[in-house]
Structure 1
Amino acid sequence: MNGMTNEGAAPARTVTLIGKPGCHLCDDARAVVAEVAAATGAAVVEQDITQDEALYARYWEQIPVVLVDGEQHTFWRVDRARLHRALTS
């Protein structure tokens, strides 16, 4: 062990954007997610419902869907301020 610890450091947050190609709302959401993630240091993961049957079955009527640390945060439209609060609380 090198003696360095992560005590007191906030764990990295992860924002997952679930969408599909050709979705204009997904493009809008992607821009907001990227901006807020850059400002807060959150990681961003994208998942395509056309490549995953389980995601398709669960979310096809709601895309884009945004998860924060695996929990559904919002769908259709992403509120910049609300996402920022979720990532900094």
Structure 2
Amino acid sequence: MRVDIYSKPKCSLCDKAADVAEAVRARIPFDLRIISILEDPALFERWRYDIPVIAIDGEPTFKFRVTEAELEARLREVQGGMSVAKTDAQDG
């Protein structure tokens, strides 16, 4: 399982999302990538007003804020073979 966090430097919400992901990763193993939208013009155009965006296995799942409980619940769903549910993050 892979979790990507689309972020940018000096973004307090992005830092919080990364902290949440690290805390959850202590309980559920997954690969974590922090991706700066400043390094890719396409990512910048797509996500610049929505960061942080958390994608699970390539599917945007959360944006702006996520709690440990929300992320853990979604990861357990994916781990159990259920598809990632559509959320507001997928509207953009």
TM class by shorter chain equals 0.7 to 0.9
CA distance in 2, matches of 1:17, 1:65: 6
Question: How far off is 1:85 after superposition?
Answer: 1.0
User: What is the number of equivalent residue pairs in this alignment?
Assistant: 77
Asked which structure has the greater CA Rg, the reply is 1
Relative to structure 2, which stretch is displaced further, 55-64 or 73-82? 73-82
**Identical columns (%):** 35
Mapping for residues 14-53 of structure 1, pairs under 5 Å:
14-53=2-41
Q: Superposition RMSD on alpha carbons, in Å?
A: 0.8
8 Å Cα contact 1:19/1:26 also seen in 2 = yes
Q: 2:45 aligns with which of 40, 57, 76?
A: 57
CA distance in 1, matches of 2:76, 2:63: 20
Give the secondary-structure state (helix, strand or coil) at the position aligned to 1:39.
Answer: coil
Q: TM-score, normalised by structure 2?
A: 0.80
Unmatched segments (≥5 aa) in structure 1: 1-12
Q: Deviations over 1:37-72 (max 9, x none)?
A: 221001101110111111101000000110001001
